[in-house]
Amino acid sequence: MKVDNTVLSQRFCGPPKTGNGGFTAGILVEAVRTNAAEIRLLNPTPVETSIIIESEKGQRGAIYDDSKKVLATLKSITYEDFPEYKLPLVPDLDDTKKISAFYPGFTTHPFPTCFVCGPKREISDGMRIFVGPAPEQIGFENLMAGHWLPDETVASENGLVRDAAIWGALDCPGGFSAVLDEPQLIVLSKIRGKIIERPKIGENYTVVSWRLQKMSRAFKVMTAIFKSDSKRLMAIAEALWLAPRNWDTTNQDW
């Protein structure tokens, strides 16, 4: 088991005081070096604070704070463990950009400085993935779509988009699909997904999300990343979002 001490930069926040859930999950994915995984987010991961990452290559991993409280866990899965979902029709790039203009977060956003979806983040600072309501398709509830143009600030050593950013892109859009018809504060609890092909820096991608199930205080959603021109599937994830019972109200901007 490999053990690393690190600090999650404020740049990668979701809520102001804690890391973006998908990006945090992706940091674990990078440590374990797996292409498919299930990550459980048990407690918020603080930014600008020492954290411990334990990883077993290709198998499992965990994040702890300095008191050894478990913040997140990961187990690798095979591609066969991830079910084949029916996918929606992907809008053309021009249409996707028009859809992005109707992003609900432009009007109301609990975390407007979120690294992935915060409208207060500038180009080359945040990922700026803004999903808006897409034309209805049968079988895809609360379907949304948004444009993503990854830049060199999220590049890995091989020049492709780093895994943490890919998992970040698989996070926030699903949250908006979860509560599109009834906006409320929710947070990512679990995400299970796979990277099929890593996006390239400077190319156009379309992120699509939809809701699978609504429960009392839980929402199951899907998010997928497609190459905008060929509409080839690059990565996909199923996620569980929860309405928190005891949220720290100082950790939001509403």
Asked if residue 84 has pLDDT above 80, the reply is: yes
pLDDT for 204-233, tens place per residue?
999 999 999 999 899 999 999 999 999 999
Give the count of domains, the chain. Answer: 2
Residue 251: the pLDDT is: 62
What's the whole-number average pLDDT of the chain?
A: 95
User: Does residue 154 lie within any of the structural domains?
Assistant: yes
Q: What is the pLDDT of residue 190?
A: 98
* 126 and 33 co-located in one domain: no
Which contiguous run of DSSP H or E holds residue 94?
A: helix 93-100
Q: Is residue 57 part of a domain?
A: yes
Q: Which CATH number fits the domain that encloses residue 128?
A: 3.10.129.10
Mark whether 39 and 127 lie in a shared domain.
no
CA gap 220, 237 in Å, rounded: 11
User: Is the predicted pLDDT of residue 146 greater than 90, yes or no?
Assistant: yes
Residue 41: domain span: 2-78
**What pLDDT does 245 receive?**
78
- 97 and 70 part of one domain: no
Tell me: do 62 and 94 sit in the same domain: no
Which of residues 22, 57, 78 is at a domain's end? 78
Provide the whole-model pTM. Answer: 0.95
- Domain end, chosen from 32, 55, 78, is at 78
User: Residue 249 — pLDDT band, cuts 50, 70, 90?
Assistant: low
Q: Give the residue from 98, 238, 109 showing the smallest Cα distance to 176.
A: 109
Higher pLDDT, 251 or 146: 146
Q: How confident is the model at residue 254 (pLDDT cuts 50, 70, 90)?
A: very low
Q: What is the DSSP letter of 49?
A: S
Q: Residue 99: in which H helix or E strand, if any? A: helix 93-100
For the four alpha carbons of 163, 135, 99 and 205, in that order, the dihedral sign comes to positive
* Domain limit, last residue, from 78, 102, 121: 78
Give counts: helices (H), strands (E), the chain: 4, 11
Q: Is the pLDDT confidence value at 107 over 60? A: yes
